[in-house]
Structures are given as C-alpha cells and as structure tokens.
Amino acid sequence: MKKACIALFIILLFIPPVIWTGLFIADKNLYDSLDYDLGEKREKTQIENVSELALSGEAVTDWFADRAPFRSSLISFKKSVDSVVESPYEYDLKPAALKILYGIEDNRSKIAVETVAKSGQKSMYKSEKLRALLIEPKEDEVIVWNCDTMGHEWQTANVVDPTYISYGYTEFVCTHCGAEKTDSWTDKLIDDSYLAPNVHGETTIGRFDWLFLYGWGNLPYYQANNLLTENEMSEYAKKLNILKELCDAREIKLAVIFTPSKSNVYPEYMPSFTVFDTYKRVPRLYDYIKENSTVDIAFPTKELKDITRYYESYYKYDSHWNFVGSYIGVQALYGMLDIPQTDILSLAVTKESRPASGDLIELGKLNAADFPPFYEYIVHYKDDVYTTYETAESVLTSDIYRTETDRGYNESLVMIGDSYRNFMIPYIKKDFNHCTFAYRDNEREIKDDLLNADILVLQSAERYDYKFLKDLDFLIQLYSWHAAEQ
C-alpha cells in the first residue's frame, strides 16, 4: 500500500510537467497564452547553493511554485473565484451577519459608493452591486454631491507651460464626478529678436519654418504703409449702401466677409519687417464700413487667432486658411445671416500629418524635403449630409462650383470671391439647397444665379480689397440694369 501511494505521488508530480512540455512542443501559441505575465514585478525565486536546500524547505517550495506548470492560468482562475465570492460576502452576507449577531451596522458599501462618486472612476470597482447603487441610488442612501444641480468643484490636475509655438494652459478635474476641462490660458512666448527677412521669389521664410507671402501686394498690408484715406473708405461705404438698397428691393440678403492675411493672424512668426502702424488698412476700412453702412460685414481676425489655442487656422506652408480657419469664417458668416452657429470645439476634428507642401513652397521654389511635415485638420461637420448634385471639378480649383442638396435651408446662396472661398464650400453646401460659388473674374457667367439668389455673399482676401471695389461696381450695374428693364 505504501509503495502504491509513493508511485501515485510520483505520477501526479510528473504528469503536469510532461503535459506542459508537450504543449510547448505541440502548440507554442497556446502555451504562451497560458503562460502570460501576471505583472508581479519580481524575480523568480533562485537557489544559489546546495546548502539552501537543507536549511530551507520554504525556498524549495517557492522555487517549484514559481515554475509550476499552468501557474499563470491557475492563479488567474483563483482570483476570479475569489472576486465572485468576495463581493456577496463583503456586501451582503457579512453586513447581515454583523447586524443579526452583534447589532453592528457595516457602512463599507455606502463609503465605497461615495468614493466612486467622488472620484468618478467606476471601473476601479468590479462589484456590480456598487455600480447599481451608484447609478440607481436607493432612498436611504446619501448622495454626497450632484454636479448637475450643485456645479463642479474644479481642482488643478496639470499645468502646461507656454512655448514659442503653443499656448500654456491648466487642466482641471472635478473632485466629485471626474469631469475634465482646460482653461486658464497663457499667451505663447514671443521671440522678438531680430530676424532678417529671407525672401525667395514671392515667399519669405519666417520663424520656426513658417512661410508667408511676400509678393502679390501682401507685404504693404502687413507693414501698414498703404492706408486708405477717408475719402477712399467713403467710396466703399457708399457703393455698399447702394448695393444693399438694390438687394433689399429684390429681397436678397447681403453679407460681406473679409479674410485676414496669414501674416496678420500669425505676426509672431513673421521676419523683422518694419510695421508703420498697428491700425492697418483693412481693419480701418472694416470699422469705417461698420459705422457708415448698414451692410452686414465680418472680419474674423480675433476668432482666427483665438482658435489657435486648439488648432492652427492657416496652413504652415500655404498662404490660405485651412479647414479650421475657413470653418471659423463660415460661422462668422452665419452670424450675419442669423443662422445657428456651431462651436468648432463641440465637433470632432481629425489631425493628420502630411509631408510639407503648399503654394508658398512652390512660389518660393523651395525644396519641400527641407521642411518638416505639417498638419491637416479635418472638421467633421454634418458628415451625414450629402449633396445630391455638384459640379465634377475639384472644390479647390473650380472657378464656378454649383451644388444641390435635399436638406438644409431652402434658399439659393451665391458667393463671389477669391480662392479663400473654396475652403468654405464643404460646410456651406451642407446647409443650403442650392449654392453657386464663383471666382470674381467669372461673375458675368453666373448672371442668372445672381438675379435669382436669396443670399448674396461677397468674400475678399485682405490684400484684394481693391478688387472687391470692382465687384461692387459690377453688381450695382447688373441689378440696376435689370431693375430698369422691369
């Protein structure tokens, strides 16, 4: 009998290692899945010399335990069983027994619920009972805090210092519900050291590899050595008022938007050009029109600067605003048209790294490989709205672009402007049944669209305000001639 027991013991001792070794040979993937890291963060027990075998049976036991077959799976199984058993015992059986036998009230359940509510981290607790108590409080439970009615209590979680290319800010967390917010912004650091202009063709290289338009009449708008006289500004206001009267007679809503130059939104990255007056040409013109005309006009420089706390609003290597900047422009337009605006911070925005490219690299005949990647921002605005018709040409290169949709406002919108208007198309076309977007040199080709418009939008880049004046002349002539014929 004794020999049989010893034989059985030996068999039981060696069967698991044999199976374990066989599994390793037969199916390495299954072996690895059963022999995973438990995250114990300690070295396995080692036996340095033979004397330890005689002195410590515990060392031998630990050595074999650390190398036992199926160890990881068995320990995980035990923990799962313990978890299932522990929850009813701690929160049901034990409190009931204490109350019956000793008349003691166990408040651990209530304290745990309050802790979860305060930290906002439900996942810290596996007990389904705790989660149920948190989601559906019973009448006899005390709710520590309700942020919906009592407001959040914010505590500083992290402070991020500003740099030369990013704002500083503070991250806060609610001590009760775990909600998060970012606030307490601090301005970027400004490098005001002298940076000599580095001009390549129509492009100048600014600080931190930012490129800006040097030619095409842009520099005077940055330096402010091209201010308009009051008589010249009066001419703009006068013609705008005439056009508005003609549009009112045709029940056309008129709106004007000037697009700020990149150099006036990101002046901190410009080379050290002399600026003769901080109150520049188009800001002066905008203020004059606001005071001397009833036309709705927007010039969203501040909004485009403010959003750079979160996203860039212009391309790093291109003269145009990007799809974040154009979205800000569209919202400024909607504000003039009494259309509900949607804060970009409430939308999903995808940030994608792209190889260096842009019109400023091409205009300066620069090597794109010399510049780091830039970011493209994709604003997910009404992704469920699709146009039922649009012209086949590319949005960004079409001189005339028409769209139709069966959703949105049942009005016909016509926009005349320059290349900046193209970046606004992806948003506007989702909000109107009929749209026509045309480059200003193609105005004569869209006469019928202009005559049948419900909304007329005039867009002009800051450096093209003189071309905008010619747009006014054409439209006044068109609407006056048509009114006389009728």
Angstrom distance (rounded) from CA 44 to CA 66: 6
Q: What percent of the chain has pLDDT over 90?
A: 55
pLDDT in tens, 384-411: 998 888 886 677 778 899 999 988 899 9
pLDDT score recorded for residue 261 = 96
> Distance between CA atoms of 234 and 426, rounded to whole angstroms?
35
Q: What is the pLDDT of residue 60?
A: 55
**255 near 244, Cβ under 8 Å?**
no
What's the chain's length in residues?
Answer: 486
Model pLDDT, residue 135: 43
Backbone angles phi, psi at 317, to 5 degrees: -115, 20
pLDDT-based confidence at residue 163 (cuts at 50, 70, 90): confident
What ranges make up the beta strands (E) of 167-245? 168-174, 180-186, 198-200, 203-205, 211-213
In the prediction, which pLDDT does 75 show?
Answer: 57
Beta bridge partners of 154: 174
The pLDDT assigned to 172 comes to 86
Sign of CA dihedral 379, 381, 384, 388: negative
Please tell me the predicted confidence (pLDDT) of residue 49: 58
Q: Is the dihedral of CA 425, 321, 331, 456 positive or negative?
A: negative
Q: Are the C-beta atoms of residues 465 and 285 closer than 8 Å to each other?
A: yes
Cβ-contact 68, 35 below 8 angstroms: no
**Within 10 Å of residue 390's Cβ, how many Cβ atoms?**
17
Q: In 191-229, where does DSSP find H-type helix?
A: 219-223
pTM of the model: 0.69
Check if the beta carbon of residue 328 is closer than 8 Å to that of residue 300.
yes
CA dist 117 → 45, 122, 132, 134 (Å): 42, 8, 12, 7
Give the model confidence (pLDDT) of 175-190 as tens digits: 878 888 888 888 888 8
pLDDT at 259 over 80: yes
How much is the pLDDT for 48? 59
Whether residue 236 contacts residue 258, with contact meaning beta carbons closer than 8 Å, is answered with: no
- Over residues 93-141, the pLDDT tens digits come to 656 665 665 555 555 444 444 433 433 433 333 344 434 444 444 455 5
Q: CA-to-CA distance for 354 and 315, rounded, in angstroms?
A: 11
pLDDT digit string, tens, across residues 424-473: 999 999 999 999 999 999 999 999 999 999 999 999 999 999 999 999 99
Q: Where are the domains positioned within the chain? A: 1-35, 74-144, 150-186, 218-485
Confidence at residue 349, expressed as pLDDT on a 0 to 100 scale: 95
Residue 270: closest CA among 326, 224, 333, 235 = 224
Q: Which of 480, 475, 472 is nearest to 236 (CA)?
A: 472
pLDDT digits (tens, 9 = 90+) for 40-82: 445 566 655 555 444 445 555 555 555 666 565 665 555 445 5
